[in-house]
Structure 1
Amino acid sequence: MVSALGMTAVLGGCGSTGSSDVTLRLVAADYGDSAATSSKKYWDKLAAAYESGHPGVKVEVSVYSWNDVDRKVKEMVDAGHAPDLAQIGAYADYAAAGKLYQVSDLLSIRTQADFLSQLADAGQWKHVQYGIPFAASTRVLFYNKTLFARAGITPPTTWAELASDAKALRDKGVKYPYALPLGPEEAQAETMQWLLSGGYTDNGGNGYTDDIGTYTIDSAQNIQTFTWLKDELVDKGLTGPVAPGKLNRADAFTAFADGSVGMLNGHPALIQQAAKKGVSFGMVPMPGRNGTARASMGVADWMMGFKQNGHAEQIGDFLDYVYARKNVLAFSRAYGLLPVTDSASGAMSQSDVAADKSLRPFLDQLPTSQLYPVGKTSWAAVSAAVKKDIGQAVAPGGSPAGVLTRLQAAATAADSSDAN
């Protein structure tokens, strides 16, 4: 996070929305880590700038922490008081319940066409887009340059090289040669990154689903991936003193910033966390079984418009403003996140600003990234099951095939239940 938003609001689309005296209520997530960096400052500036060009429209923004925001919106919807707009972590349940506007009913064609295609596709429920991508992130492999130099090694490009590097780091006394956070905080992320890197001929695995959206958690490739992790990293003592199933992502990041980790998968927030502690680090694409992984894991947060209050025209006009290039760039730069539009991504990739340059390794991964299957209403249950159980796959005496088969059965059941 940064200490100042450094945002210049841009007036765009200042014409009439066709009606007056409309109040739009927006509930948004807080990406800041203190009152000084709260997203509320961003939204208040943006709303004030929009209102100055649209006298008949007010935008009231409520910002909640990520621990609370999804629950707050659910409570509002369940009580019959849905907001006009919500910027939260998932949209599919509301789309399935018929509570959301289709994106095509809200946004101008120009704004719709500007979204990165794979993010727009991930916003679809039953082949219709309801979720509007708001912020994105990918993962790359971070490595500690000081520890690598001490061990006389270079960043890995294959799994075999990763295991070899991990052994060299362990032999030099590094506490976590490769940090493998499969604890309940965010195990679904580490799991997906490894699944995507686990192919043979195309350097890409299945992930959680196949190309048509069917869960394939227990595919032969995925079982082989977790068997390799167990046999070649965990069982050989190359993942550190904490069992992967008990190591959370936040703790792994803290250990990296403290200089105790040789390498781990990380997202952009780790840049500043490590830099603040003076760690010299590099970033490379995640290794694959036979070479650089074909796909990185992507994550997106979502904006959506609720139909209850009937403000489609005003919602759409405001969102066209929100997604103007300069506003997308301002938010992305404030919070170290990736732009979700082609225009803003292009501007960031060509920028000489140091903060933009630091995000390029992540930006480079975005066009080929694969996201969680967020368009499936079953995903929340499947993700919870992965968080709870995947660590057992690499535990002493654990069975990767057995654990993935159980997770597949749970996913199939959840998917079937949601389809009925």
Structure 2
Amino acid sequence: MVSALGMTAVLGGCGSTGSSDVTLRLVAADYGDSAANSSKKYWDALAEEYEKQHSGVKIEVSVYSWNDVDRKVKEMVDAGHAPDLAQIGAYADYAAADKLYPASDLLSIRTQADFLSPLADAGEWKHTQYGIPFAASTRVLFYNKTLFAKANLTPPTTWAELAADAKALKAQGVKYPYALPLGPEEAQAETMQWLLSGGNGYTDDVGTYTIDSSANVETFTWLKDELVGKDLTGPVAPGKLNRADAFAAFADGQVGMLNGHPTLIQQAGKKGVKFGMVPMPGRTGKARASMGVADWMMAFKQNGQADRIGDFLDFVYSEKNVLDFSRRYGLLPVTGSASNAMAASAAPTDKALQPFLEQLPTSELYPVGKTSWAAVSAAVKQNIGQAVAPGGSPAAVLTRLQSTATAADSSTAN
């Protein structure tokens, strides 16, 4: 990701300037992978279009890489200079601290009703929506069609078939038969996909952490014994393999299978890799659910401006603008109107997203409404790789993570 425009020198409140003029400050994450497709270009064009229609309103946008954006917003809030809007990875801490407007104070009824319900529900803290979904994706199993054809394989539908396919790919000299990125960049995602395919997840139906459940221990024991222990996950230890490196290796034709999200379509396509996509296999059949991921828009109360913020957000979430952003970055629309338009489209890029679109309505998201999730996610990133390492104990690692989660939940409970 590319870090773009820095913060302006003046970070104070941006209310009235003596006339009807007002500046709304938005801090946003960069979804691009180069300066050429930085999100700054998207937001600058959107702001310019909005400003043309609304004299006296200026939209000031600062874009940061995903490595920096959450920290930048936290620093601004801690310093007493919250932006009006932030488009980042998590909202619950700010909602719990009473720093955000509820979505119902901002958005028109039409805009609010248009969000896909799993995403809107995931944006709730204590049964009130504060997190406004901005971008979404699900995960599917990508496989290299060329490597599969050479080994005379069909895509797996169960764990046993996945392991058998990986063994056959290894025999053909494939570098990463199944790429298992449990490195610190995004291990919480690969972990959740496997937990779901094993029939459980991070939490139960009422939101209590169940990281060390017997089903989850069985899942990681299987991974350790049947994939990692049989040298079917490649030359880099899973705990050191990051998602970006796994995607790059897939785009270079070195990976037989891996869990991927929509951006991998473009990345692999640019390199000419022929690939297929199927639902993630489960223990004995299709996984219970796919993992969904959403990023969030939120509005801070510090500077007031609820009406102006809401009007701008209604513009941001128009069908046209949601589709434009989704298509530009290979992500899924968060609204029903844009999802329906994409599903009905015959455009090749839209058709390529169909496997992901189909899974979104029934996908499961991280427990982002829990203020403890940030600490739990960080612990998973740092430690889950040990569960599949030689001599590692899946039960012991998951038990330690459960203790961390329980403690984090207690300390953040309100």
Asked if 1:82 is matched to 2:76, the reply is: no
2:358 counterpart SS class = helix
Q: Which deviations, in whole Å up to 9, do the C-alpha atoms of 1:9-52 show, x marking residues without a partner?
A: xxxxxxxxxx9322211111111122221111111111121122
Distance 2:185 2:61 in 1: 28
Partner of 2:230: 236
State the AA in 1 paired with 2:99. Answer: K
Q: TM-score, with normalisation over the residues of structure 1?
A: 0.93
Query: What corresponds to 1:399 in structure 2?
Result: 393
Q: In the TM superposition, what is the alpha-carbon distance from 1:206 to its structure 2 partner?
A: 2.1
1:94-109 maps to which residues of 2 (within 5 A)?
Answer: 94-109=94-109
The aligned counterpart of 2:116 is 116
Return 281-290 or 31-40, whichever deviates more.
31-40
- Matched letter for residue 320 of structure 1: D
Cα distance, 1:294 vs. partner? 2.3
Conserved 8 A contact 1:139-1:266: yes
Query: 264, 277, 284: which is aligned to 1:283?
Result: 277
Q: 2:309 aligned with 1:334, yes or no?
A: no
TM-score between the two structures when normalised by the length of structure 2 = 0.94
Residue in structure 1 matched with residue 194 of structure 2 by the alignment? 194
- Aligned partner of 2:243: which letter? R
Equivalent residue for 2:304, pick from 306, 310, 315: 310
Cα deviation for residue 370 of structure 1 reads 0.8
Q: How does 1:1-400 map to 2 (within 5 A)?
A: 20-198=20-198, 205-400=199-394
Question: Given that residues 294 and 368 in structure 1 are in contact (C-alpha distance below 8 angstroms), is that contact kept between their aligned partners in structure 2?
Answer: no
| TM-aligned CA deviation for residue 114 of structure 1 | 0.3
How far 1:365 moved relative to its partner? 1.3
Distance between the aligned counterparts of 1:183 and 1:307, measured in 2?
A: 37
User: Which residue of 392, 406, 411 corresponds with 1:412?
Assistant: 406
Q: Kindly provide the CA deviation profile for residues 302-359 of structure 1, in whole angstroms up to 9, marking residues without a partner as x.
A: 0001001110011111101110001100010111111000000010011011111111
Q: Deviations over 1:42-77 (max 9, x none)?
A: 111111211222213221111111122111111111
Query: 1-side partners of 2:115 and 2:362: how far apart?
Result: 14
Structure 1 CA distance, aligned partners of 2:364 and 2:401?
A: 20
Counterpart residue identity of residue 262, structure 1: G
> Matched residues in 1 for 2:49 and 2:168: separation?
55
1:279 CA displacement: 1.1
1:211-244 Cα offsets, whole Å, 9 max, x none, are: 1111000111111111111111111111112211
AA aligned to 2:361 is: P
- Within 1, Cα distance between the matches of 2:40 and 2:319? 20
Gaps of 5+ in 2: 2-18
Give the counterpart letter for 1:62 in structure 2.
Answer: S
Distance 1:280 1:158 in 2: 22
Measure, in 1, the Cα distance between the counterparts of 2:109 and 2:151: 54
- Bigger mean CA offset, 155-164 vs 65-74: 65-74
The percent of aligned pairs where both chains have the same amino acid is 84
* Matching residue's letter, 1:153: L
- Look up the SS of the partner of 1:185 in the other structure: coil
- Check conservation: 1:170, 1:177, Cα contact below 8 A: yes
Show structure 1 runs of 5+ residues with no match: 2-18, 199-204
CA distance in 1 between counterparts of 2:363 and 2:385 reads 24
Aligned residues: 397
Shift of 1:197: 0.5
Distance in 2, Cα, partners of 1:256 & 1:63: 28
Moved over 4 A (4+): none
* 2:311 partner SS: helix
Residue by residue, what CA displacement relative to the aligned partner does 1:239-291 show, whole Å, maximum 9, x if unpaired? 11221111111111111111111100011111121112221111111001111
SS of 2:320 mapped into structure 1: helix
